[in-house]
Structure 1
């Protein structure tokens, strides 16, 4: 781990922020604390790692912002006594790792080192995924259903039957979907859906 690692800590609890900063003092990791996701977004860093308290919103908010900016930074989620569902949701949202609080300086330092290594491997993939998700997020529920049908190789008629709408309505949703996603043709929309993990 290089001596210039920057860790951006997002946590609404001032005592916990202080404890984590103290935990990493002298570790060669520069900690910048932020009270919430919007404070960090207003001063978005060019590089580093994000250590984000998982309040059910912050991780998703930050990953959406990465998609908008086209810049991915590795996110480590943390919470006090997190349940399995919470950890799974954070990882599915795009967190690269997760740790339970309280943790020791050695535990978090080791996790940060591991996250940096993963980031080098996953960086471009995660960025493409974040970008794709931000494009899919623009769609209405019906447009997503049409996209899933298109990606599944169904014709407008078959999608219409499945969704109980006319093929003409499917065509309109399809056109709107392409426009909102910034896709020039259907195959590009399918690629974006796959990168966003909307379809496999």
Structure 2
């Protein structure tokens, strides 16, 4: 770990923020506490890691911001007694790691070190995924269905049959989808969908 890692803590609970800041005081990890995602978004850091209390929305909000900015920072989610579903959900959204609160100083420093190592390996892939997700998020439900059909190698007629709409309507959705995604052709839209983990 380098000399002094910046850890941006996002948690609505003032007592927990204080406890975590106190837990890491005097270590090589410098904690900057924020009450909510919008407060951090207003003062977006260039480097560092985010330790985000998993309240069901904060992790998603911050990852969406990364997609908009085209700048990815590693996110570590945490919660008190998180369920397996909660942990899996946060990781699928894009969190690089997850830790259960309360944690010891040694535990969180270990998690931060691992997250930094993973970030070096996954950084560019995670950034591409964040950018791709932000493009896919612009699509309507129907446009996503058309994109999934296109990625599955279906013709406009076959997509239309599957979705009970006319091939002409599929064509319109397809054109709108390309425009919203900033894709010049279908193969580019498919690549973005794969990077966004919308299709495999």
Smaller-chain TM-score range? over 0.9
Shift of 1:27: 1.3
Asked if residue 126 in structure 1 is aligned to residue 123 in structure 2, the reply is: no
Shift of 1:4: 2.3
Q: What does the per-residue CA deviation read over 1:129-164, in whole Å, with 9 as the maximum and x for residues that have no partner?
A: 000000000000000000000000000000000000
TM-score by length of 1: 0.99
Asked if residue 31 in structure 1 is aligned to residue 31 in structure 2, the reply is: yes
Unaligned runs of 5+ in 2: none
Shift of 1:192: 0.2
Shift of 1:3: 1.4
In the alignment, the residues of structure 1 paired with residue 180 and residue 137 of structure 2 have an alpha-carbon distance, to the nearest angstrom, of: 9
Q: What does the per-residue CA deviation read over 1:37-78, in whole Å, with 9 as the maximum and x for residues that have no partner?
A: 000000000000000000000000000000000000000000
Q: What does the per-residue CA deviation read over 1:68-111, in whole Å, with 9 as the maximum and x for residues that have no partner?
A: 00000000000000000000000000000000000000000000
Asked if residue 41 in structure 1 is aligned to residue 41 in structure 2, the reply is: yes
Q: Secondary structure at the match of 1:9?
A: strand
Q: How does 1:67-78 map to 2 (within 5 A)?
A: 67-78=67-78
Q: Residue in 2 aligned with 1:6? A: 6
Q: Residue in 2 aligned with 1:81? A: 81
Q: Residue in 1 aligned with 2:50? A: 50
Shift of 1:26: 1.4
Q: How does 1:1-200 map to 2 (within 5 A)?
A: 1-200=1-200
Q: When the two structures are aligned, how many residues end up with a matched partner?
A: 200
Q: Secondary structure at the match of 2:98?
A: strand
TM-score by length of 2: 0.99
Cα RMSD (Å): 0.4
Q: What does the per-residue CA deviation read over 1:179-200, in whole Å, with 9 as the maximum and x for residues that have no partner?
A: 0000000000000000000000
In the alignment, the residues of structure 1 paired with residue 40 and residue 70 of structure 2 have an alpha-carbon distance, to the nearest angstrom, of: 16
Q: What does the per-residue CA deviation read over 1:159-186, in whole Å, with 9 as the maximum and x for residues that have no partner?
A: 0000000000000000000000000000
